[in-house]
């Protein structure tokens, strides 16, 4: 391919992206024109924050924080939906008066108060023992064991041979899954043990959206655990209970299923910020 061909392809790709963006923005006009009856829910890592080598290094930029702050002043409900603990999500975003849903829907912070799915109380104390045991096993360079309130996650993003790392983690977790009432969940170079309860991000978003009495809800996400939220919104739409839209944030690491299950796709965290900036009535930069 010549340099001219590459340049033409780049122009064509941008033109396609612009057309798709215009379709998405048009679809969200009702959200923007009626914020008092609309809700915005979003995953955190990989959606509002760029993926970092370890969870502790991830940040929400001041620019993104300002956009979220402006949105929260206009929309009926704004929810951050994360696999992190809700308290950790709040620390990272550093804004009050948002709903912070943590541990994939098992617990949340609202109006400064902590809430849990009732069955989750049975799992308190288990995470600490598991995190200690796994930290002793995965103490090599590249692994990171994240302790949560209700579970534990083993990150292997920095391990050179990721396929081998994943296989090793799964082998170690196998007897733990047999011994404890836990289930395994996978994300972008992370494998997690969490309570074996029939609750997910979609359940949490559904409950909060319906309770808020809104007419429309949108959800942004980038990972396989966000598919539950995409599917939940689609069901609410099919049932005629809410107008909904789901938006996937693409990356080189994105699982194809995430793109397939979403109504629309944007190409980066920066594109997600631009969309939210437009939703907050700040002039869109093209």
Task: Give the residue, 37 or 121, on which the prediction is more confident.
Answer: 37
pLDDT at 278 over 80: yes
For all residues of the chain together, what is the average pLDDT? 89
pLDDT at 10 over 80: no
Q: What would the CATH number be for the domain defined by 3-117+199-279?
A: 3.40.50.1000
Task: Give the residue, 112 or 214, on which the prediction is more confident.
Answer: 214
pLDDT for the residue 24: 83
Neighbours of 267 (CB within 10 A): 15
The pLDDT of 110-131, averaged and rounded, is 90
pLDDT at 266 over 50: yes
Instruction: Report the CATH fold assignment for 121-195.
Output: Alpha-Beta Plaits (3.30.70)
- Cα separation, 167 vs 159, whole angstroms: 12
pTM of the model: 0.89
Give which of 168, 170, 151, 148 is closest to 160, Cα–Cα: 168
pLDDT for the residue 37: 95
pLDDT at 19 over 50: no
pLDDT for the residue 256: 92
pLDDT for the residue 63: 96
Give pLDDT tens digits for 173-186: 999 999 999 999 99
The pLDDT of 27-41, averaged and rounded, is 92
Contact assessment for residue 120 and residue 215, using Cβ atoms and an 8 Å cutoff: no
pLDDT at 11 over 60: no
Q: Which of 24-28, 46-50, 159-163, 271-275 has the lowest mean pLDDT?
A: 24-28
pLDDT for the residue 21: 66
Give pLDDT tens digits for 209-264: 999 999 999 999 999 999 999 999 999 999 999 999 999 999 888 899 999 999 99
Tell me if residue 51 falls in helix, strand or coil. Answer: coil
The region, left, alpha or beta by phi > 0 then psi within -120 to 50, assigned to residue 56 is alpha
Please report, rounded to a whole number, the percentage of residues in the chain having pLDDT higher than 70.
91
Domain ranges of the chain: 3-117+199-279, 121-195
Q: CA torsion 194→200→204→209, rounded to 10°?
A: 160
């Amino acid at each position: 391919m010549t340099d001219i061909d590459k340049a033409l392809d780049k122009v064509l790709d941008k033109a396609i992206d612009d057309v798709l963006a215009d379709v998405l923005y048009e679809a969200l006009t009702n959200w923007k024109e009626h914020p008092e009856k609309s809700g915005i829910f979003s995953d955190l890592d990989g959606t509002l924050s760029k993926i970092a080598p370890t969870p502790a290094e991830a940040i929400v930029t001041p620019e993104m924080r300002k956009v979220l702050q402006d949105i929260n002043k206009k929309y009926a409900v704004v929810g951050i939906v994360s696999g992190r603990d809700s308290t950790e999500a709040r620390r990272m975003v550093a804004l009050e008066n948002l709903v912070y849903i943590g541990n994939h829907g098992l617990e949340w912070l609202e109006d400064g108060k902590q809430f849990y799915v009732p069955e989750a109380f049975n799992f308190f104390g288990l995470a600490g023992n598991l995190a200690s045991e796994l930290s002793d096993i995965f103490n090599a360079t590249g692994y990171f064991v994240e302790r949560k309130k209700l579970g534990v996650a083993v990150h292997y993003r920095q391990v050179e041979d990721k396929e081998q790392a994943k296989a090793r983690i799964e082998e170690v977790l196998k007897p733990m899954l047999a011994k404890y009432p836990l289930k395994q969940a996978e994300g972008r170079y992370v494998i997690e043990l969490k309570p074996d309860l029939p609750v997910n991000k979609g359940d949490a978003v559904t409950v909060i959206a319906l309770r808020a009495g809104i007419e429309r809800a949108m959800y942004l996400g980038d990972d396989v655990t966000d598919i539950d939220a995409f599917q939940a919104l689609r069901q609410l739409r099919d049932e005629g209970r809410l107008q909904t839209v789901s938006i996937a944030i693409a990356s080189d690491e994105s699982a194809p299923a995430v793109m397939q299950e979403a109504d629309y796709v944007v190409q980066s965290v920066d594109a997600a910020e631009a969309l939210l900036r437009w939703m907050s009535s700040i002039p869109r930069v093209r």
